[in-house]
């Protein structure tokens, strides 16, 4: 009965952690008092600490908005998946369709971004990715979509399926470029989620986002992310702009802290200008690093408790966390943190290493919740022999 109760109690937590690997969907409460974020001149924004998996600040983060070229984050993510799954290689060449080439027409009419490919060319996937990310090329997006899925329509359907699989309620795609189109929308929180997936799942391809300029076919174009040149800690990610969306920027930075390297991610939608999106994003990032402290509480493999195990080949098991437990708290509040453990009792073999057996909760002395993560077994405990199982079964019955 107790084990069923614990499983039921932990199920919502585990589902949340799996669906929101970086806790972008809602964030965890921080220790009081919560710092007041700066005034941000944008329609929507969100600031996420990817190291502690907490949302530090947000405004209208779930409001649906046009994502403009931030759409290309999902485009790139699916291409990265295809490379990971060996459906494409960076060295592979792809044809340029008339449809991709025709994006030049939209460029002449509406100022769309391009890498300037044409049907006579057979660019490498690596070149197209640089065109997609550094140049924000609509033509590169179409060529890659066709190369991965066979058609733009099939690729857009895959984009929407991925968003649905992640549980992104405020995202729907109608194209691979971000051009204004009915029912093509996202939100600051959803955009942050996709960006975080790229950072965490594709660390070998993510560095393309920090490339400051790229030359293709003799045409050199600069990355439109101004923060790459202003702050050496900023190492990506993506800009976007349409008349309807305004000026948008996803920016991420990594800085050294006493708790180790700490990565923040900001999303600013609907700023008034190119300079505005850069300035407001930088303001958010700097505030996140100065107003909040990162506190590392536990390392993976560190035993937080050693507890009895019933019916096991070993009589005890060490319990801890599977990943470093880092939390973000208002500056100077780290000393007020109080961790606590709840666990399955009785703990009965067999146990697998990494098996969830409880919860580690972190709160302030005032009782404000800061973090909640699974408590796991740090070692395997196989079943004991028949006599040991029988003896412990008797003891459990008496207990």
CATH code, domain with 106 = 3.40.710.10
- End residue of a domain, out of 272, 292, 312: 292
DSSP line for 145-194 = HHHHHSSHHHHHHHHHHHHHHHT-TT-B-S-SS----TT-BB-HHHHHHH
Same domain, 163 and 305: no
Same domain, 334 and 287: no
Same domain, 365 and 253: no
Buried b or exposed e, range 8-40, using 16+ CB within 10 angstroms: eebeeeeeebeebbbbbbebbebbeeebebeeb
**C-alpha angle 346-352-354 in degrees, rounded to nearest 5:** 100
Going by the DSSP 8-state scheme, the letter that residue 383 receives in this structure is B
Same domain, 193 and 58: yes
Do 48 and 265 meet the contact criterion of CB atoms below 8 Å apart?
yes
* Total count of domains within the chain: 2
Same domain, 190 and 307: no
Do 80 and 116 meet the contact criterion of CB atoms below 8 Å apart?
no
Q: 């033509």: which residue's tokens? A: 139
CA of 396: how far to CAs of 60, 138, 348, 390, in Å?
Answer: 53, 66, 10, 10
In a domain, 80, yes or no: yes
Residue 355 to residue 359: CA distance in whole angstroms: 12
Same domain, 272 and 325: no
For the question of residue 72 being annotated catalytic, the response is yes
- End residue of a domain, out of 267, 292, 317: 292
Query: 369 forms bridges with which residues in the sheet?
Result: 363
Q: Which helix (H) or strand (E) holds 289?
A: helix 274-291
Q: Which helix (H) or strand (E) holds 335?
A: none
> What are the residues whose beta carbons fall under 8 Å from the beta carbon of 130, sequence distance 6 or more?
115, 208, 211, 214, 216
In a domain, 36, yes or no: no
Do 242 and 66 meet the contact criterion of CB atoms below 8 Å apart?
yes
pLDDT in tens, 18-33: 344 334 333 433 335 7
Q: Which residues of the chain have pLDDT under 70?
A: 1-32, 105-111, 384-385, 387-396
**Cα-to-chain-centroid distance, residue 254:** 14
> What are the residues whose beta carbons fall under 8 Å from the beta carbon of 293, sequence distance 6 or more?
257, 259, 328, 329, 330, 331, 332, 333, 334
Do 268 and 284 meet the contact criterion of CB atoms below 8 Å apart?
yes
Q: What's the token pair of residue 222?
A: 């600069």
Residue 248 to residue 3: CA distance in whole angstroms: 48
For the question of residue 183 being annotated catalytic, the response is no
In a domain, 347, yes or no: yes
- End residue of a domain, out of 256, 274, 292: 292
In a domain, 328, yes or no: yes
Same domain, 194 and 311: no
Same domain, 90 and 180: yes
pTM of the full structure:
0.85
Going by the DSSP 8-state scheme, the letter that residue 348 receives in this structure is B
In a domain, 37, yes or no: no
Which range of residues forms the domain containing residue 341? 2-20+299-398
Same domain, 218 and 337: no
In a domain, 163, yes or no: yes
The active-site residue, picked from 3, 52, 59, 69, is 69
Do 227 and 281 meet the contact criterion of CB atoms below 8 Å apart?
yes
Same domain, 280 and 388: no
In a domain, 35, yes or no: no
For the question of residue 281 being annotated catalytic, the response is no
**Cα-to-chain-centroid distance, residue 67:** 17
CA of 31: how far to CAs of 8, 11, 289, 365, 366, in Å?
Answer: 27, 25, 16, 9, 8
The active-site residue, picked from 52, 113, 136, 281, is 136
Residue 364 to residue 362: CA distance in whole angstroms: 7
Same domain, 355 and 285: no
Same domain, 306 and 267: no
Residue 284 to residue 338: CA distance in whole angstroms: 28
Going by the DSSP 8-state scheme, the letter that residue 199 receives in this structure is H
The active-site residue, picked from 72, 197, 238, 283, is 72
Do 300 and 323 meet the contact criterion of CB atoms below 8 Å apart?
yes
Residue 246 to residue 242: CA distance in whole angstroms: 6
Look up the CATH number of the domain holding residue 324.
2.60.410.10
In a domain, 29, yes or no: no
């Amino acid at each position: 009965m107790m084990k069923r109760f614990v499983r039921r109690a932990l199920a919502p937590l585990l589902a949340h952690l799996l669906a929101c690997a970086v806790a972008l969907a809602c964030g965890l409460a921080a220790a009081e008092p919560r710092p007041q974020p700066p005034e941000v001149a944008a329609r929507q924004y969100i600031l996420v600490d990817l190291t502690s998996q907490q949302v530090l600040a947000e405004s209208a983060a779930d409001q649906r908005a046009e994502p403009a070229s931030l759409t290309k984050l999902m485009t790139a993510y699916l291409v990265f998946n295809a490379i990971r799954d060996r459906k494409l290689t960076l060295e592979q060449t792809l044809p340029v369709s008339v449809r991709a080439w025709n994006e030049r027409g939209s460029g002449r009419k509406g100022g769309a971004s391009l890498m300037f490919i044409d049907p006579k060319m057979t660019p490498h996937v690596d070149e197209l990715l640089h065109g997609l990310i550094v140049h924000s090329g609509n033509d590169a997006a179409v060529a890659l979509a066709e190369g991965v899925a066979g058609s733009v329509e099939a690729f857009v359907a895959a984009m929407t399926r991925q968003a649905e699989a992640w549980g992104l309620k405020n995202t729907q795609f109608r194209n691979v470029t971000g051009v204004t189109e009915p029912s093509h929308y996202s939100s600051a929180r959803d955009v942050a989620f996709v960006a975080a997936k790229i950072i965490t799942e594709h660390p070998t391809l993510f560095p393309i986002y920090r490339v400051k300029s790229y030359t293709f076919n003799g045409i050199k174009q600069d990355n439109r992310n101004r923060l790459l040149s202003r702050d050496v800690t900023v190492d990506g990610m993506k800009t976007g702009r349409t008349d309807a969306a305004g000026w948008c920027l996803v920016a991420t930075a990594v800085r050294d802290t006493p708790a180790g390297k700490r990565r923040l991610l900001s999303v600013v939608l609907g700023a008034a200008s190119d300079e505005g999106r850069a300035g407001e994003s930088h303001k958010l990032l700097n505030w996140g690093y100065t107003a909040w402290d990162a506190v590392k509480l536990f390392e993976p493999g560190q035993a937080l408790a050693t507890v009895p195990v019933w019916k096991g080949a070993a009589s005890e098991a060490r319990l801890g966390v599977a990943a470093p437990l880092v939390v973000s708290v208002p500056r100077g509040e780290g000393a007020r943190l109080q961790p606590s453990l709840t666990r399955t009792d009785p703990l009965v073999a067999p146990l697998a290493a990494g098996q969830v057996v409880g919860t580690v909760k972190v709160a302030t002395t005032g009782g404000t919740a800061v973090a909640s993560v699974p408590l796991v077994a740090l070692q395997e405990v196989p079943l004991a022999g028949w006599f040991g199982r029988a003896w412990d079964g008797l003891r459990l019955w008496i207990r």
